[in-house]
Structure formats: C-alpha cells, structure tokens
C-alpha cells in the first residue's frame, strides 16, 4: 500500500449529493490532501464543489453500466489511477414486505447492492494492475438488527455486508484492502429522501390498520437523534487512510447498541425491537 501512503491518494466516491454522508466524506478526504472524484446523479447536487480544484466532479448513475464505465474511465484518464473506491450511493425504502411494489424492491437492490458491484467490477481491474488499492463499502446498522417496515433497505445492506466479507478474502489476493463501514444514525438527507420515496407507495391493504406505525418509521429516520455527518466523515476518513485499514468500522449514534443487539438471542431481539417499534400483536 506504499502508493497510498507516499502519494496523494486518488479517491472516487459515489452518492456525493449535498446534505448526505458522501458529500461530507468527499470534503473530509479533500481536507486530508486527497484528489477526490466526487460523483452524484446530478451535477447540481454538488454545486458547492464546482469551483474547488480539489474535486473532479462527475455525473454518475450507479444503476447504469454505461455511466459507471464512462466515469471510471474519466477518472483513470485524469489521475492515472484510483487508490480508494468508496461505495456510498444508496436509497431508502420503507413499507411492509408483503405489499411493497416489487419495482421499489428491485430499485433499492439495484442501487444499494448492484451499484457497488458495478463500481467494484469497473475499478478493481485498475487497482489489480498495481496490486494496490482500497475498497470501502458503506453498510448500515439496520442490517444488524432488522425491524419491521424497513426490510427492503435492511436486506440490501445485509447483502452489502456479506459481499464485503467475501470481497475481503478475494481482493486481498490482488493486494487490495476492503473495509466495511457501518454508520449509526447519521444526520443527513436520507430522512427527507425516505419521506419523498414513501409518498410514491400505494395505499396499504393488508396493513391499512398499521399505516400510522409505518409512517412513524419514516419519520423516525428523519427525526431521531443523529451524529453530525461531518463528524462521522472525519472519523471514517482517518480510519480509511491508515496504512492498514480495518475490516470493519462502525461509528455514530446507536452503533454500539445495535452491535450488541446483533449478538442477542433472537427471542430477546424480537421482544426489544417489537416493543420499540410497537410491532407486537
């Protein structure tokens, strides 16, 4: 990993829209002297970076093979290499699994799971040539102790955790480090995004008597006590830029208690989550 330690690291980050974790990660990497390729679905979403020479801005849609290939090619052409890939882009999805439209489930997995896979398959060959690089996947504490109404999102993040564990072994053989970053509750635009997405959901039939509880799940994402995104980003970047990055890093509000919940017996976990989410019959 000498190239990352001794040279100015080149970092590509997905999902850098203002107000989100990716935006603050981009700023934190730049503040540490990195060359940052910041990406988002809309250039307008990164307007405050436009005149900052530390950022190479690219419009990227992680659900498009063509978009991913084009952006990665542009970054390699400009900098000659990619040292760190941060798969941060993601979407929320709230609703009961028995009724949520499959199109919403597919979009969530296409963004949260296949999006990182597209980026990995496009970036890793460039890292493998130099036998150097780091892949950072952003997971979620929601995958550690899933509750009601958030099953689609939590399952997508659980898939990311599992893929990351496999990648750690596979990419190590190519000289590439892999880190699973698991944010706690972080203050970001994911709350308003979840609320906007929920407005597109149909009226529930089987769960019409629970619509207020489901709505509260949406509101919880936006209103619960959260760690500032810039604080989380600074701490995360400091860890990622170490010569030897950890396999797992979790930070932010609720991260400790959710890690504990993960190891509890299922009946205890079900009782605690059900009571907290008012989901007991």
Q: Are 51 and 24 in contact (CB under 8 A)?
A: no
Give the whole-angstrom CA distance, residue 116 versus residue 14. 9
CA distance 83 to 198: 37
Q: Are 149 and 96 in contact (CB under 8 A)?
A: yes
Please say whether the beta carbons of 92 and 20 come within 8 A.
Answer: no
Looking at residue 43, the DSSP 8-state letter turns out to be G
Choose, from 32, 78, 153, 216, the residue flagged as catalytic.
Answer: 153
Three-state DSSP class for residue 102: helix
**Known catalytic membership, residue 262:** no
CA separation, residue 277 to residues 142, 170, 273 (Å):
13, 38, 6
Tell how far CA 182 is from the center of its chain. 8
Reading phi first (left if > 0) and then psi (alpha if -120 to 50, else beta), residue 240 is in: alpha
The two tokens of residue 26 are 């981009």
Choose, from 32, 44, 66, 157, the residue flagged as catalytic. Answer: 157
What is d(CA 123, CA 121) in angstroms, rounded to the nearest whole number? 6
Per DSSP, helices labelled H in the chain are 2-6, 21-31, 65-79, 102-109, 115-130, 151-172, 190-198, 211-223, 229-240, 255-262, 266-276
The set of catalytic residues is 153, 157
């Amino acid at each position: 990993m000498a190239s990352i330690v001794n040279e100015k690291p080149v970092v590509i980050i997905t999902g850098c829209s203002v107000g989100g974790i990716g935006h603050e990660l981009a700023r934190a990497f730049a503040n540490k002297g990195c060359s940052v390729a910041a990406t988002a679905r809309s250039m307008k979403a990164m307007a405050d970076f436009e005149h900052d020479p530390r950022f190479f801005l690219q419009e990227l849609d992680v659900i498009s093979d063509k978009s991913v290939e084009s952006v990665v090619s542009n970054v390699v052409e400009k900098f000659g290499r990619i040292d760190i890939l941060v798969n941060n882009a993601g979407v929320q999805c709230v609703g009961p699994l028995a009724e949520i439209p499959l199109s919403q489930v597919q979009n969530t997995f296409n963004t949260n799971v296949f999006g990182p896979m597209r980026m990995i398959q496009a970036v890793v060959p460039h890292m493998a040539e130099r036998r150097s690089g780091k892949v950072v996947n952003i997971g979620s504490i929601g995958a550690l102790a899933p509750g009601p109404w958030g099953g689609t999102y939590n399952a997508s993040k659980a898939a990311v955790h599992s893929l990351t564990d496999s990648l750690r072994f596979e990419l190590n053989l190519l000289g590439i480090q892999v880190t699973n970053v698991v944010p706690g509750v972080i203050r970001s635009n994911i709350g308003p995004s979840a609320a906007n997405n929920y407005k597109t959901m149909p009226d529930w039939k089987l769960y019409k008597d629970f619509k207020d509880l489901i709505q509260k799940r949406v509101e919880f994402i936006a209103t619960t006590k959260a760690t500032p995104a810039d604080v989380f980003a600074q701490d995360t970047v400091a860890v990622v830029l170490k010569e030897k990055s950890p396999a797992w890093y979790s930070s932010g509000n609720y991260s400790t208690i959710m890690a504990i919940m993960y190891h509890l017996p299922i009946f205890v976990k079900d009782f605690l989550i059900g009571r907290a989410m008012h989901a007991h019959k």
